[in-house]
Amino acid sequence: MSNKGNNNTEEAILKAAEAEFVEHGFDGARTTSIAEKAGVTHAMLHYYFRTKEQLFDRILEEKFSTLAESVLLIFSTKGMTLKERLEKGIATHFDFVAQNPNLPRFLMSELPRVSPVVRATFLPKLSAVISEVQKELDMDVRMLMLDIVSQNLFPFLVTPLLETLTASEDRNAMLEQIKQENITLILKRLDL
């Protein structure tokens, strides 16, 4: 089998697994369902990912790696003012969550399983960014990061409420408005 075929199979498994884990949680997810959705045999799934835990961890590692590469990189970009980096970083984080709207509720429900992966893959990168930004702000940057995450995740944690407040056609407009409000609120708190 070609390397491209291997990559396609692996991607199909990861996509099916993510959907299964988000819908049923780790304990409720079944590898037989994942294999069926991915269009592979159960044996093939286990060839690529030996255990359900390895598959789960791989999905989390990829999500947090993508988050680190897209968002944290912005906060430490040279040649931009702190305000510009914050605006772009907050917006990019919000967009990441909007592209993965079920992820916040899923992560909250699986926190004991998620925490070790976050500590191993994401926190070292976050700590480096916090140290860098700390040089520019007269506040505890951890609180700033917590504010950003809280503001950006909340709309997706209460999706049923959001859907009640908006018709489906103006949901995207509402999300864009929330994103801009979050940026304004955080920058105003910092007097930027």
Judge whether 82 and 192 are in contact, CB under 8 Å: yes
Give CA–CA dist 47/9, Å, rounded: 11
Q: What is the dihedral of CA 156, 161, 166, 171, to 10 degrees?
A: 10
In 10 A of CB 1, how many CB atoms?
Answer: 7
Across the range 35-60, mean pLDDT stands at 95
Q: How far apart are CA 170 and CA 52, in angstroms?
A: 38
DSSP 49: -
pLDDT at 125: 86
pLDDT of 168 reads 63
Residue 125 neighbours by CB under 8 Å, 6+ apart:
68, 72
Q: In CATH, what is the architecture of 1-50?
A: Orthogonal Bundle (1.10)
DSSP 135: T
The one-letter code for the residue type at 6 is N
At residue 173 the predicted structure's pLDDT band, cuts being 50, 70 and 90, is: confident
Q: Catalogue the E-assigned strands of the chain.
A: none
Arithmetic mean of pLDDT over the chain: 89
Architecture of domain 57-189: Orthogonal Bundle (1.10)
84-136: pLDDT as tens digits? 999 999 999 999 999 998 889 888 889 999 999 888 888 888 888 888 888 88
The full set of domain ranges for the chain reads 1-50, 57-189
Q: In percent, how much of the chain has pLDDT > 90?
A: 56
